[in-house]
Amino acid sequence: MKKICILFCGGTITMKRNKKGALEPFYNAKDLLNFVPQLNQLANISVIQLANIDSTNIEPKFWTILAETIKKNIDTFDGFVITHGTDTMAYTTSAISFALSNIKKPVIFTGSQKPISDIPSDATNNLINSVIVATKFNTGACIVFGPKILRGNRSTKISESTLDAFNSPMVDPLGIISLEPLITSSYKQKINKTSTLMFDPNIAVIKITPGLSQKYLDHIISSDVHGLIFEGFGTGNVPKNLIPFIVKAKDHNLPVIILSQCLNGVARMQLYKVGQDTLKAGAISGEDMTIEAAATKLMWILAQTRDIKKIRKLFLTNIAGEVTID
């Protein structure tokens, strides 16, 4: 049997309601295996407990710990399954896709919308399907959740309550969970020389709204923020009154990434004059990246360089299939 390592991080899957009825971390890694003994029929299972926390409290430094653990054990196991809370799962999966972009083994993220002790719960099927995928397919960093197998850095959480909690809005799923897991599309992994396991968390994300004033943004220039992401209107359009701020940011070596606010949106910056003016001011298009992929990619790049030209070049490079560019 294949050797699969379950990296236990916590999340709803291991929670239990306290006296006030609120969910909080409770069960440990050993408990998880006791709830799903069938896993031992699918693979030779080992467990490493890295944390037991609500994923709302996951920080970028934990991504480094997770990446280091996978890298340390890469020759020992045939694949990895990470149990993780759903709130920030797409962020962590995206981060790992960059930190371990050259990995040639499955790194499967999963969790649940209901605790594993609930009857019924989606936890059991998600865990079983994740282990099966890890024994059969070389997916790289991906999410197995409900009926879908998704590329991690293309995924986003779309529901806080339904069992089909994730989707990849700009690309087809990697596969589906039918009578058994099936891979229905493919991605040719790129070989990248650039790699670090570190992340610089000092970024800010701002969703542009009508009337947003530059004066509210100017303090960012003198703050500890090292990178900025604007979620623009439509195709990534930014109001003209914010153009001077983007110019000022560029002059201070502060990269400004532009995404579309639309779930199925692409930052097509050349389509409108306002978009062209934004690019001319020094902004960088995030194309069709999710906010999770763009944020973690920017943190990953900033951990390597603060040079604005190098940041631009790396951000416009398809590192791990996170964006539809050559």
* Region of residue 241 (phi > 0: left; psi between -120 and 50: alpha; otherwise: beta): alpha
Gap between the Cα atoms of 150 and 141, Å rounded: 9
- The string of DSSP letters for 228-249 reads EEEEEBTTTB--GGGHHHHHHH
| Residue 226 CB neighbours (<10 A) | 20
Q: Alpha carbon of 111 to those of 150, 186, 271: distances in Å? A: 14, 23, 40
Q: Are 206 and 259 in contact (CB under 8 A)?
A: no
Beta bridge partners of 49: 8
Beta bridge partners of 24: 16
Q: Is 83 a catalytic residue?
A: no
Cis amide prior to 120 (ω within 30 degrees): yes
- Catalytic residue selected from 12, 86, 235, 278: 12
Handedness of CA 70, 72, 74, 79 (dihedral sign): negative
| Residue 15 CB neighbours (<10 A) | 23
Residues with catalytic function: 12
